[in-house]
Amino acid sequence: MKTSTTTAVPVVENDLSHWQAMFADKTALLAQPGAHHKALLTEAHALHEKKLIDSDDLSDLLELADGALAFAVESMLDIDSDE
């Protein structure tokens, strides 16, 4: 009988793909940059706590989240300067 131990892999992909979908949602990011950033950080830490990502991956996700926040703030400043 062949048993499969790959059931954890789709879970990791699903959780990471959820984080990636959140990260790619520019509408939500630009609407509420602070809340969106916090959600990205919370989700990244949850992935790490569940041991679905290692500390290097956590660091990468946190850097991406910070970059997204910086992008949103710069976008808001650009909009304000255009008015």
Q: What is the pLDDT of residues 23-65, one digit of tens each?
A: 999 999 999 999 999 999 999 999 999 999 999 999 999 999 9
pTM for this predicted structure: 0.78
The torsion of the CA quartet 11, 24, 77, 65, rounded to 10 degrees, works out to 30
Whether 30 and 75 have beta carbons less than 8 Å apart is answered as yes
The C-alpha R_g of the chain, in whole angstroms, comes to 16
Whether 73 and 33 have beta carbons less than 8 Å apart is answered as yes
Tokens 């990244």 -> residue: 44
